[in-house]
Structure 1
Amino acid sequence: MLNTIQDLMRPPAGMDFDFSQPPGEPALTPADGVSWRVFANPVALFIGGVAAVLLELAEPSVRSGVWDHTGFRVDPVTRLRRTGFAAMMTVYGPRTAAEALIARVTRMHARVQGVTPDGLPYRADDPRLLDWVHATATFGFTSSYHRYVQPLSAHERDRVFAEGRASARLYGATHAPRSWAEWEALLARTAPTLEASNILADFLRIMANAPIVPAPLRLLQRLLVRAAVQIVPEPVRSLPQLRGQGLRAGEAAVVRALARGGALLPLGDTPPRQAVRRMVTAR
C-alpha cells in the first residue's frame, strides 16, 4: 500500500527527473524547513491532496476550472501523478527546474477560462483563485501531517505557509497566506462563497474507486479518502456530499499507523531522498 501511494510522488511517464542534480542547487523551500519533512510522507501527501481538492471544488470558479479543463474524470491516476510531481518539484526540485515547471503551468493557466453554471466568468490565472488553491494545498498537506503523522507546533505550521511564499508568487498567488492565522482569515472570507455540488460526490466516488492501489487494497484507499474528509474544515465538511463521509470509530488509529509507517519504511529513491543528496554533495 505505502509503496503504491509512494509511486504518486514519482515523475509521470516522459517526465523523468533526477532530483539529486545539480549538486548544491537550493530548492524554492529551505532544506532545513518543515516543508521538506511534511512532503516526504506519501500517506500524508495523499490525504492532504484529497482534502485540498475538496476545498477547491467547493469554490464555484475553481470547481469549474478543475472539472471542465483537466483530465481528472477520464484518467485520475495520471492527473494525480502529475500533481504529485509538481508538488515534489515545487518543494524539493532545484530552483531553476522548479521555476521552469511553474512557468509552464502558469502559461497553461493563462489559456483556461470559462463561465460557471451560474454565469460567473472565471480565469485560471485570477490571483484570487490562485491564492485559494495555494492556501488549500498548504492547509491540506500540513493538517494531514499534523493529524496523522506527527503533531506540529503552531510555529511549525506557520513556517509551512511562510516557506511556500516563493512558489506562491511564481504561480501568481500574490496574496497567499503567510501563516496559519492568515489561512484562517482567508477561509473566513471565502466561506460565504463555498457551496455544495454533486461534483464533490463525484470526486469522492472517483477517489474511492480509481485504480490507485491494487484491488485487494482498495478498502485502505477508501479509508485514506475518509481521512481526508475528516480534516476538511467547516463549512465544507458539513456540506451534504461530505456529511458522514469522514472516519468511523477507531479508524483514525489505523490511518496514523499507515502514515507513520510511511516515514519508517524504506520506500526507495524518492525525490525527497534525491534532494537531500543534492544538498549534501555541495558540503
Structure 2
Amino acid sequence: MIDVSQQQASVADKKPGRTGARFDFLHPAGEEALLPADSVTWRVFKNPVAMFVGGVAAVILELAEPRVCDGVWNNTTFRTDPLGRLRRTGLAAMVTVYGPHTKAEAMIAGIHRLHGNISGVTAAGQAYNANDEELLNWVQVTASFGFLEAYCHLVKALPAADKDAVYREGAIAARLYGAVGAPASVAGQEELFKAMRPKLQPTDVIEEFLQLMLQTPILPFFLRPYQHLLVRAAVGILPAETRRFLKLGARWQLKDWQLDLVRWTGRLADRLVIKASPAVHACRRLGLPDNYLYKRS
C-alpha cells in the first residue's frame, strides 16, 4: 500500500550516476526464490505486458476500497512521483517472485514494518492501519487477479489448475506480508470479491489515477499511444459488473483492432527473451538457461 523505496534501498545496489536502486537478481548463486522456477507464477510474471496491464487493473480495484484508497493516495508518492512509485512497486513485485528468498524475506519484513506506521481515517470516518489483515488480503487478491487476468486475456488462456496455482503460490508471499487470509484458488478469489463488493465505492481518485497512467511518461515518447492502449486494456479485464459500478464507461473500451494489437504484443512478449529481465537473471542464478521460462510457455 505504501511507498516501499526506503526498504528497497536496503536490499538493492546503488550504481554511480543513477537515481533509484538496482536489485541484483543474479546473486547469491544457487539461492532459491520464495517460489520454484517451475511455478506458474514465474511464467506469468515474466511477461511485461501482463505485468503492466495487471498492475493498473489491481490498483483500480484497490482504490475502490475507501481505506486502501486513503492509505495509497495520502501516504504514498503516487500523485507527486507516479513514475518513481510505479518503478519501486514493480521492483517489489519482481523481488517477491524472482529474488533470492533471503533478500525477498528481508524486503517484505521491512515493508510490513513500514505499513505498521501508516494509519488514518477516511472521509467517512473509517479508521484503518495499513497492516489491517482485511486490507492486506484485498491488496493481495487484487494483485493476483490483475496479473492472472491480464495474462489470460492478453497472452494465452491458462487451464483451471494453473489459475488456482497462481493464487496458491501467491499465498506463500502473502502470509509474509501479513495477508494470511488471501485466497488460494479462483473460487476463493471470487468469494472474497463477493464479500468485499458492498465495501467498494466509485471515486474520483480512480479517474485521477487513470489520467496519471495516461500522462506519465512510462514508455518512450513514440510508444505513448501504445501506453494508452495498455491502460484501457487494464480497465477491460475488470469484471463487467465492476466496470459499471465504478463508472468506467465506453471511453475506456478498446476497439477490436486495438485489443488485437495488445494481444499480439502480449504473445510476442511471452516469446521474447529479455536478457536483462529479473526472470532471466533469476534463471541464471539457479543455473538454468536464459530461455527456460520461454520454452515452458
Alpha-carbon displacement from aligned partner over 1:44-68 (angstroms, at most 9, x marks no partner):
1000000000000001100000000
Q: Where do residues 136-175 of structure 1 align in structure 2 (5 Å cutoff)?
A: 136-175=142-181
Structure with greater contact order relative to length (CA < 8 Å, sep ≥ 6): 1
Name which of 112, 125, 131 aligns with 1:119. 125
Report sequence identity in percent: 49
Offset of residue 234 of structure 1: 4.5
Offset of residue 262 of structure 1: 1.5
Name which of 49, 52, 58 aligns with 1:52. 58
Write the letter of the residue equivalent to 2:269: G
Instruction: Look up the match of 2:243.
Output: 237
Alpha-carbon displacement from aligned partner over 1:196-231 (angstroms, at most 9, x marks no partner):
100010011000110111223211101000000001
Shift in CA distance, 162/240, structure 1 to aligned 2, threshold 3 Å: closer
For the Cα contact (< 8 Å) 1:191–1:235, is it kept in 2?
Answer: no
Write the letter of the residue equivalent to 1:273: V
* Structure 2 residue matching 1:87: 3-state secondary structure: helix
Unaligned 5+ segments in structure 1 are 1-9
* Structure 2 residue matching 1:164: 3-state secondary structure: helix
Q: Aligned equivalents of 1:251 and 1:97: distance in 2?
A: 40
- Does residue 84 (structure 1) correspond to residue 87 (structure 2)? The answer is no
Instruction: Look up the match of 1:41.
Output: 47
For the Cα contact (< 8 Å) 2:34–2:100, is it kept in 1?
Answer: yes
For the Cα contact (< 8 Å) 1:30–1:163, is it kept in 2?
Answer: no
Q: Aligned equivalents of 1:235 and 1:125: distance in 2?
A: 29
For the Cα contact (< 8 Å) 2:174–2:182, is it kept in 1?
Answer: yes
Aligned residues: 272
* Structure 2 residue matching 1:83: 3-state secondary structure: helix
Unaligned 5+ segments in structure 2 are 1-11, 289-297
* Structure 2 residue matching 1:228: 3-state secondary structure: helix
Write the letter of the residue equivalent to 1:265: L
Write the letter of the residue equivalent to 1:19: F
For the Cα contact (< 8 Å) 2:201–2:246, is it kept in 1?
Answer: no
Write the letter of the residue equivalent to 2:84: T
Name which of 14, 18, 35 aligns with 2:24. 18
- Greater CA deviation, 55-64 or 245-254? 245-254
Normalised TM-score (structure 2) = 0.88
Normalised TM-score (structure 1) = 0.92
Write the letter of the residue equivalent to 2:88: R
For the Cα contact (< 8 Å) 2:154–2:262, is it kept in 1?
Answer: yes
- Does residue 99 (structure 1) correspond to residue 105 (structure 2)? The answer is yes
Instruction: Look up the match of 1:5.
Output: none
For the Cα contact (< 8 Å) 1:58–1:236, is it kept in 2?
Answer: no
Instruction: Look up the match of 1:267.
Output: 274
Offset of residue 104 of structure 1: 1.0
- Greater CA deviation, 228-237 or 88-97? 228-237
Instruction: Look up the match of 1:250.
Output: 257
Instruction: Look up the match of 2:187.
Output: 181
